[in-house]
Structure 1
Amino acid sequence: MGANRLPGPQRQVRSEQVIDLGTMCRQRSASVERTGFIQHEVELQRPLIYFFGGAGDGDDSFARFESAYNKIADSLKLPKIYGIQHYRVRDDVFKKYSDASHEKAFFTWDTDRLVVLARIFRSLRFNPLTPICLVGHSYGGDTAMDLAETLAASYGGIEVNLVVTLDPVSSKERITTANIKSLLGDVADYIKSGFDQKELGKFKYNGYSRTKPKNVNLWTNVWAEHNYDPIEPSNMVARLGGPWRAQAAADVDISMPKGVVHFDADEMFKEVQSYVANFPHYWRGKDKRKEQVRQFLDKLKGFRE
């Protein structure tokens, strides 16, 4: 997996500008391909890094869960939880990420996937070699991987340079008001048993496995060992949601040490900062990407006509 460094300086292009691609290319370079893409493609390159938060990053979804949980906690003799919705990847990771040469954006885990895909293709329209990095925490890790799989099915497989999952949790069966009492009952039995592994097996998702999409160049997975502190509130939430934990298909799989819990997204992100810093250089097939985006533009042109 060689890291190909692209020559020359990077120039920033605000993605919200409405600019004619052909005119821009002619202004930037005297050599323009028939497709309208400049041969020195790095001049229009502005890498995309999109962050996806988990349940605690939603507007009020976690507050609703906290309220429902606390109503049941007393009867089950479980510890109550308060305010852990303040542990947010939006504040602790996204807002602190400061590489000005990257176009960054934040989305909640349940954002409409089509909205995110539209933004990605909008950037690809300006430059087909826009590097893409998707970072997701908790439920957001599941969202990031879902988007990568969708891009894998788009125009022969749009290449994704890097996917980062921070203690990802499966959204295949989300916590609802209908199943929360049953799930919390399993937690109570587990605690009362003295954390017996047989009781732990009642949790529906315990080590959810994910396949790496073929279009992803590098997948780094970081996860917390919830068994270190099984009744810590955020670890308990991850258990209920369905943690992925170790992933055999990941290129890099990192287990966090004792003391790091599910909502410590900032600590997990520190482990992968070097990969994130270099993601614009993780490439396999640049020519294929240009052809994919050319097909996309041709279809878009035909639709408008």
Structure 2
Amino acid sequence: MQRALSLALLALAASGSYLDAQRCPERAVQHIRPSLRHAPPDLEGTYRAPFEFVCGAPATIRVRRVGAELVATVEADADCPQAGRTRWSGLPPVPGQAEFPVRIARPDGRMADGTARLSDRCGIEVGTGTGRASAYYRTDAACAPEPRPVVVFVGGFADGLNRNVVRVFCAYDAAWEHTRKLYFAYDADRGRMMRAIRDSADGAPVVLVGHSYGGDTAYELADSLGAHVHLLVTLDPVSPRREGQTVPRPREVRRWINVRVGSRPGLSSCGLAGAIGGAWGPQPAADADLRFPPDPAKDDPDDDHCKTEEMFLLQPVQAALAEIR
């Protein structure tokens, strides 16, 4: 019976007619920026303005918290008249806020109202709305240029059609997060995947995010990559050989978050995919074993297995991604 259902599901996925509702909507991609979503951006640090010069050198500022405000002051040699002068100040942004009001020093020393805009987690543009804004780029260790962490997304069965992970992969803003990203189907050549990840990471931290069969593949990749993996995220993983089982923690992986659907499987193609694929059991070896959805009253058996964006946006997952450096 299970084999017959599996063949039927294959046929449905091949035709795509039952998966149309899971395709990306015709709209601009919503950016997923964990470092902005999870907590107030950490803006304290050293920045350089490559197009501005102070006493013959590119302008360098130091952003510090003074009381409740962020204050940006010029860093220069002691004999430079501008050393220690305030460039701008203002209350720091709250989570999810990419712009915040500031007061900007004019050439005559007076302060003018302006706006600071985060261009990414390591860049700030400050201006009054007239003329060119000043662009500052963080240069301390928190924003080292290379090598950047690599976030690897592994799609499950028929992800090219239902785009459950493709949607998340496209929405994750690697440029903003100062990371790089890769995408693989769960059944891609394992050796090629390993080589591509190692070559791309070049010693930098690796994050693996896998859904359904892709969760099973991500788990095995993590076990092989070991200490290179700083974070493993398995989104309702399935595989016949691990159906209903708990699995050991992958060797040397620093952090593992497992998300599992709590509802019984429905009769839609999505619900059947979770059931026929062989859903894993609870994973006590994970650092966090999260039920999805967290509130059982919101269970949706027909679609929960395919709500990858909502799983990916769970607070513990976003918080862990925000910490990746």
TM-score by length of 2: 0.50
User: Is 2:323 the partner of 1:278?
Assistant: yes
Q: CA RMSD in A?
A: 2.6
The SS at the match of 1:147 is helix
Does 1:144 pair with 2:218? yes
Task: Name whichever structure is richer in helix by fraction.
Answer: 1
- 1:265 and 2:301 correspond: no
Amino acid across the alignment from 1:111: A
Which residue of the other structure, out of 189, 193, 209, is the alignment partner of 1:135? 209
User: Aligned equivalents of 1:237 and 1:230: distance in 2?
Assistant: 9
Give the letter for the 2:185 counterpart. Answer: T
Q: CA contact under 8 A between 1:162 and 1:218: conserved in structure 2?
A: yes
Q: Determine if contact 1:9/1:43 at 8 Å carries over to the other structure.
A: no
Which structure has the higher relative contact order (CA within 8 Å, separation 6+)?
1
Letter in 2 for 1:88: N
Match for residue 123 of structure 1 among 185, 200, 204: 200
Structure 1 pair 124–231 and aligned structure 2 pair: CA distance change class (3 A)? closer
Q: Does 1:163 align with 2:238?
A: no
Matched, 1:54 2:90: no
The Cα shift of 1:206 comes to: 4.5
3-state SS of paired residue (1:144): helix
Q: Which has the higher strand share?
A: 2
Residue 250 of structure 2: which of 213, 217, 220 is its match?
A: 213
Taking structure 1 as the reference length, the TM-score comes to 0.53
Equivalent residue in structure 2 for 1:235, among 249, 271, 280: 271
Q: Does 1:103 align with 2:180?
A: yes
Alpha-carbon deviations, 1:232-271, whole Å to 9, x = none?
4312221111101421111011101212611111111111
Instruction: Return the index of the structure with the highest Cα Rg.
Output: 2
State the 1:95 CA deviation. 0.5
Tell me the equivalent position of 1:88: 164
Partners of 2:266 and 2:200 lie apart in 1 by 43
Q: Give the length in aligned residue pairs.
A: 178
Q: Distance in 2 between matches of 1:97 and 1:171?
A: 30
| Distance 1:99-1:87 versus aligned 2 partners, 3 A rule | closer
Residues 1:45 and 1:212: Cα distance change in structure 2 (over 3 Å): same
Are the aligned partners of 2:154 and 2:209 in contact in 1 as well (CA < 8 Å)? yes
Structure 1 unaligned residues grouped into runs of 5+? 11-39, 59-84, 153-157, 173-204, 281-305
- Partner residue of 2:189 out of 112, 116, 120: 112
SS of 1:55 mapped into structure 2: coil
Matches within 5 A, 1:192-203: none
Distance, in Å, in 2 between the alignment partners of 1:98 and 1:124 is 17
Query: Quick one: structure 1 residues 171 and 94, their matched pair in 2 at CA, closer, same or farther if it must change by over 3 Å?
Result: farther
Change (3 A) 1:206 1:145: closer
Contact in 2 for aligned 1:167/1:245 (Cα 8 Å): no
- Whether contact under 8 Å (1:131, 1:161) holds in the other structure is yes
CA displacement 1:39-79 (0-9 Å, x = unmatched): x8944221100000000214xxxxxxxxxxxxxxxxxxxxx
Give the Å deviation of 1:93: 0.5
**Structure 2: 5+ residue runs without aligned partners?**
1-41, 48-140, 294-298
In the alignment, residue 205 of structure 2 is paired with which amino acid? P
Is 2:236–2:260's contact at 8 Å kept on the other side of the alignment?
yes
Listed one character per residue, the Cα deviations across residues 180-229 of structure 1 (whole Å, up to 9, x for unaligned) are xxxxxxxxxxxxxxxxxxxxxxxxx64222111121100001111241x5
For 1:143 and 1:237, locate their aligned partners in 2 and report how far apart those are by CA, in whole Å: 16
Quote the offset at 1:86 in angstroms. 2.4
Conserved? CA contact 1:132–1:160, under 8 Å: yes
